């Protein structure tokens, strides 16, 4: 599988609740996604990733699964899913589905059984521990969503582990039966034709069996106390690698791919490298390192160089936005000459990085974060930590297909959407940008086509970075020099000696080249073809 389809691929993430509603209930569904596959295919991407559509109480919008082998009625049926996969394949799109293996819903039949007592067949399928003598939790592990990671169960008279909501109990991966069963649920979807899995919280599977206390993370108090610990024992345990090897063997049977979400705020790139090095574990991994506020050449360079230094044979996936973070157009707005220029710069830069790429729905429109009122929120951590953290609803509002005059909430639904579609988002709609050849949407298509045509952009070649003063990011991939101005003012810089006699190729923005002298206007960028002799 060394040269699998996933190497250098571009995946388009769909958040199903917010992509297209086909039945007027205000919630996006599988049939709606099928109706809009033509748009996704028209971009020139290779795959589509669906956030969870499994049966769920929706306490965490589908990341709390109560049936791993069925579709939630909100989204449709298994037959609807099969039609979506078939149609995607007709368009040449691979289909990747979200697998939430680290935890289930507390309404899953196995947890319902597990909490009944300590001697039933599922008693050890979740992580249970006795209270300390004073009744307090077994240790200091914290939940990502706030508070302790332990919840007391009065019937079983033990605590259970939940790294997220109390209604999301963690599976006990030290029990091989749990591993076996989860792998069989994945085989169920592989047999239905899926091409890969996005693995939620892939470094959370195993916990320290001795339940040792996490050490503190030095620094100032945080909005969420989860960030005040080094999570040495509650996640990223060495046993994880053996399970990832089992998972890899399963997916390789089908020629399918895995991309793992690494959740860690201190050494995510190092974990990405460890999990993808060689041919035994994950095919790809991504982290939140490029999903934050940092927008400097040093930041992007350091993440890429660190990864390939740690794992020269590993494979990263890079993204600037997804369903868990503020959209990058809003995060980086202070660096923008204007919205369209920043959107095009971000697109050109991301699609030039070595590795694979994931785009989030609406990104191809230059979509911005929706400003929501407290009364409009649905996201549990947003509600808990408001207003210092507003949660993830702002990046999850519906896709906008038409302008405000459509009277159908931007073409998303004839009903009332589960999250509102507001004026700033309505202004960036597909129909309007289709009609404008200079739009962000058309640029994404142009840049994706350029990437697909250049093996030095989507192949295995590493990026060689050049030292240039801020805000210029410059690197070489194959016979191509890629230069980006990450600031809102014009800059002058020089190409390295390798660029002597080079010329501009492909997409560019506010760029001029004279000899080795390169001018980059506000948020300007250029690709320079090296003249080989």
* Catalytic residue list: 200, 253
The DSSP annotation for 191-237 comes to HTT--EEEETTGGGS---TT-PPPPB--SS--SSGGGGB--TTTS--
Q: Between 240-254 and 176-191, two packed helices, what is the crossing angle to 10 degrees?
A: 20
| Residues in CB range of 317: below 8 A, 6 or more apart | 11, 259, 284, 285, 286, 355, 356, 357, 358
Phi and psi at 12, nearest 5°, equal -105, 120
Under 8 Å between Cβ of 82 and 192: yes
Cross-strand bridge partners of residue 98: 198
> Crossing angle, helix 268-276 and helix 297-310, to 10 degrees?
30
Residue 238: what are its φ and ψ, rounded to 5°?
-60, -30
Cβ distance 137 to 144 under 8 Å? Answer: no
Dihedral sign from CA coordinates of 222, 380, 422, 399: positive
Q: Quote the tokens at residue 246.
A: 């089992």
SS (HEC) of 149-190: CEEEECCCCEEEECCCCCCCCEECCCCHHHHHHHHHHHHHHH
Side by side, the strands of the sheet bearing 317-318 are: 284-286, 257-261, 196-199, 94-99, 47-50, 10-14, 356-360, 317-318
CB contact burial 480-509 (16+ within 10 A = b; e otherwise): bbbbbbbbbeebebebbebbeebeeebbbb
* Stretch (H or E) spanning 32: helix 30-35
The full length of the chain comes to 533
State the maximum Cα–Cα separation within the chain, in Å, rounded to a whole number. Answer: 77
The DSSP call for residue 182 is H
Please calculate the CA angle 69-73-74 and round it to the nearest 5 degrees. 120
**DSSP reduced 3-state for 151:** strand
Where does 374-471 have alpha helices with state H? 380-385, 423-426, 430-434, 440-453, 455-458
What is the dihedral sign for C-alpha 331, 334, 335, 340?
positive
Distance CA 198, CA 356 (A): 13
Residue whose C-alpha is closest to residue 472's, from 518, 530, 528, 516 = 518
357, 350 contact by CB (below 8 A)? yes
* Among 320, 471, 397, 345, CA closest to 21: 397
Number of C-beta neighbours around residue 67 at 10 A:
16
- Written as six digits, the tokens of 14 are 């769909």
């Amino acid at each position: 599988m060394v040269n699998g389809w996933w190497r250098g691929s571009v995946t388009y993430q769909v958040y199903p609740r917010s992509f297209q509603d086909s039945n007027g209930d205000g919630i996006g569904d599988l049939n709606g996604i099928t109706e809009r596959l033509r748009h996704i295919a028209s971009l020139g991407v290779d795959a589509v990733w669906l956030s969870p559509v499994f049966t769920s109480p929706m306490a965490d919008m589908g990341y709390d699964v109560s049936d791993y082998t069925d579709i939630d009625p909100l989204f449709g049926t298994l037959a609807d899913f099969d039609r979506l996969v078939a149609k995607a394949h007709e368009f040449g799109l691979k289909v990747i589905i979200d697998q939430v293996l680290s935890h289930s819903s507390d309404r899953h039949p196995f947890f319902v059984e597990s909490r009944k007592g300590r001697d039933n067949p599922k008693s050890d399928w979740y992580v249970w521990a006795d209270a300390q003598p004073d009744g307090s939790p077994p240790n200091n592990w914290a939940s990502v969503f706030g508070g302790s990671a332990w919840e007391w169960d009065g019937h079983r008279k033990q605590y259970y582990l939940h790294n997220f909501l109390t209604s999301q109990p963690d599976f006990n991966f030290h029990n091989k039966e749990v591993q076996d069963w989860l792998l069989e649920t994945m085989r169920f979807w592989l047999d239905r034709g899926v091409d890969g899995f996005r693995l939620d919280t892939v470094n959370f599977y195993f916990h320290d069996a001795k339940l040792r206390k996490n050490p503190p993370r030095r620094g100032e108090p945080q909005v969420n106390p989860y960030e005040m610990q080094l999570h040495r024992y509650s996640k990223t345990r060495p046993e994880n690698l053996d399970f990832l090897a089992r998972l890899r063997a399963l997916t390789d049977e089908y020629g399918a791919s895995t991309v793992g979400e690494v959740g860690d705020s201190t050494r995510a790139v190092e974990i990405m490298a460890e999990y993808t090095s060689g041919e035994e574990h994950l095919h790809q991994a991504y982290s939140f390192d490029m999903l934050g506020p940092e927008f400097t050449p040093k930041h992007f360079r350091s993440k890429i160089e660190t990864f390939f230094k740690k794992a020269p044979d590993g494979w990263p996936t890079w993204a600037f936005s997804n369903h868990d973070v503020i959209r990058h157009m809003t995060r980086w707005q202070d660096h923008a000459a204007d919205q369209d220029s920043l959107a095009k710069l971000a697109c050109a830069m991301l699609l030039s990085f070595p590795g694979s790429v994931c785009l989030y729905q609406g990104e191809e429109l230059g979509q911005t974060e929706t400003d929501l009122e407290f009364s409009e929120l649905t996201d549990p951590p947003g509600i808990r930590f408001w207003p210092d953290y507003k949660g993830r609803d702002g990046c999850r509002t519906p896709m906008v297909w038409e302008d405000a005059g459509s009277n159908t909430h931007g073409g998303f639904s004839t009903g009332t959407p589960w999250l509102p579609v507001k004026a700033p988002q309505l202004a960036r709609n597909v129909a309007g940008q289709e009609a404008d050849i200079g739009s962000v949407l058309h640029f994404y298509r142009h840049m994706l086509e350029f990437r697909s045509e250049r093996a030095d952009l989507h192949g295995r070649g590493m990026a060689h970075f050049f030292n240039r003063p801020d805000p210029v990011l410059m690197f070489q991939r194959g016979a191509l020099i890629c230069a980006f101005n990450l600031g809102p003012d014009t800059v002058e810089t020089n190409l390295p000696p390798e660029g002597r006699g080079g010329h501009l190729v492909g997409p560019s923005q506010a760029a001029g080249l004279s000899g080795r002298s390169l001018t980059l206007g506000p948020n300007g960028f250029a690709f320079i073809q090296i003249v080989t002799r």
